[in-house]
Structure formats: structure tokens, C-alpha cells
Structure 1
Amino acid sequence: MYAPLTPEYYAIPGTQRCVFRIMQERGDTQAWNLYWLSKPETDCLLLRHDEWFQHYQSLSPDQTLAFYEALDTEVINRLSLASVVALPPRQAIPLLAAARLERTRFYALFGGEVWRHTMLGRLFLAARLEDSHSSKPETAADIVWIDFHTRHPTLKNGTLHHHR
């Protein structure tokens, strides 16, 4: 999981059937990863659990349907978005940068390229969190650089190439 804690920690206090508990019960790691990547304000729930409803805005029914459809949508090299967000953060970053997210309805509903940039920023955070839990020191070869101004970056032989 990309988030620092499991969905249970983000759950609505005193409520058994909230989206976070459902994801936790079903072991739906890909949905939880995509949700955490897409909604950074979710992290505020950990700080202000007593004021949960002031920091949380649920997805509308249409957004929820588009969210789950997006998980099943092929976005790059025959991989679904669920397959991409199931990968470790450093592997997911270049794939998400090159993914055809516009194939999903959720792309338009969640801000288009702003959504991609939000998710990439969160993936970099997830990678740093993962690094903080490993004892292996980071090297220059481990760093992935993304140029957010390119239209279609691709990964070839472990190197990210940009097409204008």
C-alpha cells in the first residue's frame, strides 16, 4: 500500500460501513492506492479525526462509478490502471507518467492532467516513505525524473524518454 497507514486508520469514527473500512475488509489494495493517490486531503483525517467531516468530501455516485471503471481501464501497454497502482511506487511512476488516463471518465471528472500530477506527486511521497522504511541507501540510479511539461513520456530500457 502506498499510504503510510491502512484504510482502517482513515475510517469514520463510530461508523462500520465507510469507504475506507470497505476497502480494508475487501483487501482492495489497488482501489485504496488509487484513492490515496487521488485525494491528498485524506491525510488530514489522520490529524483531525475528531473533525472528520470537515476534512472529508466523499466521491459523488457518478465519480465513484467512474473511479472503479478507471481501475479496470487499460491505460498503458495492456496494463489496467489497477495493475499500475499495484506496483511499487518507483515502478509505477514512469508508467503513470506515460499512461493514457484520458481513456477513463474519471480523468475528466477529477481534473485531467491535474489529477495525473497529483497522483505522481503522491507516488514520489510513497517512494520516499518506502525508502524511509528500508535500510538501503538511495543512489542516483534509484531516482526517477519526470518532466511534467512533456505530452507523452515513455519508458525504454529503464530510461524515461520524452516526446514533444
Structure 2
Amino acid sequence: MVSTPTPPLTMPKSTRIAQLVPFKSSVYRTEDRLQGDGGFGSTGPPQVRWTAVLTKDHTEMLCTVSMAGATASEIYLCGLLDTGVDVSILSLAAWPPQWPLTLAKTSISGLGGTKECYVSQNPVAIRNPEGQTAIIWPHVTEIPQNLWGRDVLATWGVRLGTDF
């Protein structure tokens, strides 16, 4: 786990990161299960979902953002793929004024200070260029860059690694 009081954290090229920490389970199992042939806990054949090589020049993705039943029901937003963000956060400047927001009950830390934060009143569909869709209730605040967080990335099946 990494924590920094002054984000963003940068790591030198070729820095090794832990991807798996094995430990002995302390949870009692009622039955033995055989491991599948597709990997850790696999239930079928290996699958490849959306993949992209991320470099310092290619870390953003243009996505279609839509809200059913809303005026201007579809917009296109470019956002940073950010695995350090629990929930996707969209820029208030890019948010259509016709799409209803409500004041968030929780604050978002790590944005460089406290700002008013809103949450969409209706679910929003985020579709990536491959056609995969995540349905979320994004947070909206005054930030310069849209952030596609782990809520969207996990739904798309994004996995991090150095060599697959």
C-alpha cells in the first residue's frame, strides 16, 4: 500500500511492485474445491477483456457518458484512467446542467482540499471505445480532469500488471 501527502506519487521505470501476497487462510472450509484450469479461482477458460498499453502519453480515454431520459442524453468525456480513485469523479464544468445532482453526504479526500462535491441523482452509463458499459452514480466536483475510477475500471474487467 502506498500513501503520499502530496499526490501524485511517481515511481521510477522498472520499479517492482507486489502483485500477489500469499498467506495461509484462517477461514474454515466446509468442502474442498478443485482449482479451475484458467487461473486463480477461474470458473472457465481464460478471457481477454479491454486491454490497452498505458504510457505517459496515453493515459486518458474518451468515453460516451449517457443518462436515460435526460435532455442531451449523451456526451463524450475524456478522462484519466485512475486506479487510485475509488469512485469516478467528473468535472463540474463538463457536467450537463440539465442532469440532476444532489449534494454528496461524504467528502472526497485527495483532491487538494475540500470542495463541494455532488453525486448524480440518476445512474449514468459510461461506455468505453470497446463498447463495455459501466452503470454508476458518479461524483461531480470542480476538478480540471475527469477521473475514471475503480468503480468503472472493475466493471470493465481492467487488471493491472507488468507482464500478462
Quick check: which has more Rg, 1 or 2? Answer: 2
TM-score, normalised via structure 1 length: 0.25
Q: Which has the higher contact order (CA 8 A, sep 6+)?
A: 2
